[in-house]
Every structure is written in structure tokens, then in C-alpha cells.
């Protein structure tokens, strides 16, 4: 084991709270889809920092936008106007296609979902003071604040912090009838993802998406689509809801974060119609949200995605990856298939060996993660080339060989 990595581990153990199960690598630099560790070893980053660095590492357009804005104005506070924040809100409205869109900026996906839940509660209570309930899905993940944790459909994550409250009802993610039955007069929102990222990269069935929209319309609730992981081009459209169906199910509210500023901390809530008018001064706020530097970075990200045709590229690259994994499945008995859309994919396994595959992949120079016991998540940058995809598949091939060899040794 590297003495450099040992040194980093010792320093971390003495100074940081033990909240993460670290992988045995310490990265010091990145360029494009590549990362470099403390020992000078290069890795292909097929995870993008959990679907964050959509343009890869050290993208020149983002670097320049950040440097220019940081040399101009870093922070005032949200008691004053700043041009980058307004420009980004206008741009998000344009790519949603909502002429009446309004945006609230914060610092993370959890904060965006928390704000959306507050917005929905205010909207619901103005209709009926008892409309304080939310319907969400098992397998969904929406954050780790107390409110978003309750909305997350994973009881194991709830237990250490219980009681969290009883205002969220979870229904199976593949049961449209159960969703419809759970929505009633006290419901103020249905909160869903079009592809459950942390739930195993599981696309939501079309009938569930339709049931969510119809149920909200029936009682006057808001449909909130969590696009934290699926938004900003990752699925091959600006937002996952835009391409989930031939006839898209349109939400009232979307939440964004991860890929929006290519690694800088930003979150956003974008709403339309009556939902866009709910918040009034004093209802919600943030000190750092929508600061000039992160908004400048986000504008650069949107510019590059549009300029370089990266929405279309995400579809093409995703097809190449899924085809490569399907080919691996013809040669590796451990591989059961592939699921996902665009550049959010999961290689599924016949056995709960994902942790071992991920470890072997890291040894081979590939960064992926075990999103479920039997699923390995791949979320590479939108800029990944065909040659780099082929290297990605080759590294997976090596990792699978290593794991399967253990079974025969």
C-alpha cells in the first residue's frame, strides 16, 4: 500500500468526522475524464463525482468563468441584485420551456428538495390547512436533511434519526394504483425521480409517471420531480422529464443541483404556474445560494452543453456504454444486464458482488460505485469520447475477470 495514501488516511482519521466509507484513493488533480492520485496514478472517472462534473475536470470554459467572476465579485448576499443570478434563472426558464418559470437558488440538492417541500406545504395549506402530506416512492433518494430524509424511501436511513414525523407516505415505485390511492385531500405534493439514481439507477415506469400527474391534478397537489441527478443533460435531454415519455409528464416543480455548476455547490428549485408564485419575502432564504461565482460557472456549463451538442452526445455515448456492457454479459457469467438512460447507467449482476467489482475496477484504474449490492453505477462526464468509453469497458472487463477468477481460485 502506498505510504502517501497511508499518510492521507492517518491525517483524515485524526481530523474529520467519520461520515464516509472512503475508497483507497486520494485524488489530487483532474483533467477531462481523468483523475490523478497522490501516487501519480491515473484513473478514468466514470462516476463524475456522483453525476456532478458533467463537463469533466478543469473544463476551460468553467475555469475561465469562475476566475473572471471571482476577480470581479464573489459575494454580496441576497438582499441585493446580482446579474449572474438573474441570468441563470432566465436561462433555466428557457430550457424548461416554461415562460412563467421562477427559480430559487440554494447550495445543494438536499436544500433544493427541502425548499420544494416547504413550497408545496405553503401551496397546500392555502388550499386546505390540513394539506400537509407528501407522497413519495420506495427507493427514492432526496437528501439527508430531516425533511428530505423522511421523503427518502429507505427505512434503513431513517432509523438512526427517528422519529422523523409521519407526513410522508411511501408507495412502491412500480405501482401506479398504489400511488393514486395514496394521494388524497391532505396531499400537497408527490415527489418522484424519473430515474431513481441512488435507488439503483431504476427508470420509473410510464404508468407511474402518468399516475403521479393525474393524482396531483385530481386533488390540486404539486408534482415535484427531483432532477438533482438526472438533470442538466445526463439523460440526453436538459431534464429527465422532457424525454421520459413520448408525451412528457410535465411537473409543477423541479429541483436541480449536481451537474449544474460542474462541481461548485449550487442547488435550484424551478417552478411554473401557481407554484412559481408561492414564496413571498421571508418564507425562505439562504446566505450563499445563487452567488455570483457559482452562477457564472452554471451559465458556462449550459453554454458548453448547448454549443457542443452534449445532449445528443449523452444519448450516443449512453448507447455505446450499454452496448459494451451487453457484450460483457456474453462473456461474464456475473453480468445480468444493464439499465438506465443516457449517461446514467447501471451494470446489473446475478449476485450481490458490486462492492467487489468496484474495488477491482479501482485497481484497474476505473472509478465507478456500488449503487446497490447487485448494481454498479456508471455516470461519466458528458464529454467522454468513444475511445474513452472503450477503455471504460475494457477496465470493467478486467475487473469482472478478477472477481470471477476469485470464484475459481
Q: Is residue 205 part of a domain?
A: yes
Q: Is residue 350 part of a domain?
A: yes
pLDDT tens, position by position, 253-281: 999 999 999 999 999 999 999 999 999 99
Is residue 221 domain-shared with residue 286, that is, in the same domain?
Answer: yes
Q: Is residue 188 part of a domain?
A: yes
Entry pTM: 0.96
Strand partners, 372: 375
Last residue of a domain, one of 307, 332, 365: 307
Flag whether pLDDT at 114 surpasses 90. Answer: yes
Q: Is residue 26 part of a domain?
A: no
Q: What is the DSSP letter of 205?
A: P
Last residue of a domain, one of 240, 273, 307: 307
Is residue 73 domain-shared with residue 51, that is, in the same domain?
Answer: no
pLDDT at 247: 85
Q: How confident is the model at residue 245 (pLDDT cuts 50, 70, 90)?
A: confident
Domain count, the chain: 2
Is residue 160 domain-shared with residue 235, that is, in the same domain?
Answer: yes
Which whole number is the average pLDDT over 7-32? 95
pLDDT at 1: 45
Flag whether pLDDT at 407 surpasses 80. Answer: no
Last residue of a domain, one of 252, 279, 307: 307
Is residue 334 domain-shared with residue 347, that is, in the same domain?
Answer: yes
Q: How confident is the model at residue 130 (pLDDT cuts 50, 70, 90)?
A: very high
Is residue 262 domain-shared with residue 147, that is, in the same domain?
Answer: yes
Is residue 338 domain-shared with residue 272, that is, in the same domain?
Answer: no
Containing structural domain, residue 149: 61-307
Which whole number is the average pLDDT over 238-261? 94
pLDDT tens, position by position, 33-88: 999 999 999 999 999 999 999 999 999 999 999 999 999 999 999 999 999 999 99
Calpha distance 131→306 (Å, rounded): 40
Q: Is residue 212 part of a domain?
A: yes
Please, what is the end-to-end C-alpha distance for the chain in angstroms? 23
Q: How confident is the model at residue 2 (pLDDT cuts 50, 70, 90)?
A: low
Is residue 322 domain-shared with residue 390, that is, in the same domain?
Answer: yes
Closest CA to 251 of 284, 209, 280: 209
Helix, strand and coil content of the chain, in percent to the nearest 5, comes to 45, 20, 35
| CATH code, domain carrying 342 | 3.90.1150.10
Question: b/e string for 145-173 if b means 16 or more Cβ within 10 A?
Answer: eebbbbbbbeeeeeeeeeebeebbbbbeb
Is residue 203 domain-shared with residue 250, that is, in the same domain?
Answer: yes
Q: How confident is the model at residue 371 (pLDDT cuts 50, 70, 90)?
A: very high
pLDDT tens, position by position, 311-345: 999 999 999 999 999 999 999 999 999 999 999 99
Q: Is residue 25 part of a domain?
A: no
Is residue 98 domain-shared with residue 201, that is, in the same domain?
Answer: yes
| CATH code, domain carrying 302 | 3.40.640.10
Is residue 36 domain-shared with residue 158, that is, in the same domain?
Answer: no
Calpha distance 181→129 (Å, rounded): 21
Flag whether pLDDT at 350 surpasses 70. Answer: yes
Closest CA to 191 of 175, 177, 170, 174: 170
pLDDT at 269: 98
Nine cell digits for residue 49? 463525482
Calpha distance 352→373 (Å, rounded): 5
Q: Is residue 339 part of a domain?
A: yes
Q: What percent of the chain has pLDDT over 90?
A: 97
Is residue 202 domain-shared with residue 286, that is, in the same domain?
Answer: yes
pLDDT at 409: 60
Mark out the alpha helices in 254-342 (DSSP H runs): 292-307, 310-331
Q: What is the mean pLDDT of the chain?
A: 97
Is residue 291 domain-shared with residue 334, that is, in the same domain?
Answer: no
Q: Is residue 72 part of a domain?
A: yes
pLDDT at 246: 81
Amino acid at each position: 500500500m502506498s505510504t502517501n495514501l497511508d499518510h492521507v488516511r492517518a491525517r483524515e482519521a485524526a481530523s474529520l468526522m467519520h461520515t464516509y466509507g472512503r475508497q483507497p484513493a486520494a485524488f489530487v488533480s483532474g483533467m477531462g475524464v481523468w483523475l490523478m492520485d497522490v501516487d501519480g496514478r491515473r484513473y478514468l472517472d466514470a462516476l463524475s463525482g456522483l453525476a456532478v462534473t458533467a463537463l469533466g475536470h478543469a473544463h476551460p470554459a468553467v475555469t475561465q468563468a469562475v476566475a473572471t467572476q471571482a476577480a470581479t465579485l464573489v459575494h454580496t448576499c441576497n438582499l441585493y441584485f446580482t446579474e449572474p443570478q438573474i441570468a441563470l434563472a432566465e436561462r433555466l426558464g428557457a430550457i424548461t420551456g416554461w415562460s412563467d418559470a421562477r427559480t430559487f437558488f440554494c447550495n445543494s440538492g438536499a436544500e433544493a428538495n427541502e425548499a420544494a417541500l416547504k413550497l408545496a406545504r405553503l401551496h397546500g395549506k392555502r388550499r386546505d390547512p390540513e394539506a400537509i402530506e407528501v407522497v413519495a416512492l420506495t427507493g427514492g433518494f432526496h437528501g439527508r436533511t430531516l425533511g428530505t430524509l423522511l421523503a427518502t424511501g429507505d427505512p434503513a436511513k431513517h432509523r438512526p434519526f427517528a422519529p422523523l414525523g409521519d407526513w410522508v407516505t411511501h408507495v412502491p415505485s412500480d405501482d401506479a394504483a398504489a400511488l393514486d390511492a395514496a394521494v388524497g385531500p391532505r396531499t400537497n405534493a408527490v415527489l418522484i425521480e424519473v430515474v431513481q439514481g441512488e435507488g439503483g439507477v431504476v427508470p420509473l415506469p410510464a404508468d407511474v409517471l402518468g399516475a403521479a400527474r393525474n393524482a396531483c391534478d385530481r386533488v390540486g397537489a404539486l408534482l415535484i420531480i427531483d432532477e438533482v441527478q438526472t438533470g442538466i443533460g445526463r439523460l440526453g435531454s436538459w431534464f429527465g422529464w422532457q424525454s421520459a415519455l413520448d408525451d412528457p409528464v410535465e411537473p409543477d416543480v423541479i429541483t436541480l443541483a449536481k451537474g449544474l455548476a460542474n462541481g461548485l455547490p449550487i442547488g435550484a428549485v424551478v417552478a411554473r404556474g401557481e407554484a412559481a408564485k408561492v414564496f413571498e419575502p421571508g418564507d425562505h432564504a439562504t446566505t450563499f445560494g445563487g452567488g455570483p461565482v457559482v452562477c457564472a460557472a452554471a451559465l458556462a456549463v449550459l453554454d458548453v452543453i448547448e454549443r457542443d451538442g452534449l445532449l445528443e452526445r449523452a444519448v450516443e455515448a449512453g448507447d455505446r456504454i450499454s452496448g459494451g456492457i451487453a457484450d460483457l454479459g456474453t462473456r461474464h457469467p456475473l453480468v445480468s444486464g444493464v439499465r438506465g438512460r443516457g449517461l446514467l447507467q447501471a451494470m446489473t449482476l446475478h449476485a450481490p458482488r458490486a462492492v467487489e467489482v468496484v474495488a477491482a475496477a479501482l485497481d484497474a484504474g476505473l472509478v465507478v460505485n456500488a449503487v446497490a449490492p447487485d448494481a454498479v453505477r456508471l455516470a461519466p462526464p458528458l464529454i467522454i469520447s468513444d475511445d474513452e468509453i472503450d477503455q471504460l469497458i475494457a477496465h470493467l472487463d478486467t475487473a469482472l475477470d478478477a472477481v470471477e477468477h476469485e470464484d475459481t481460485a
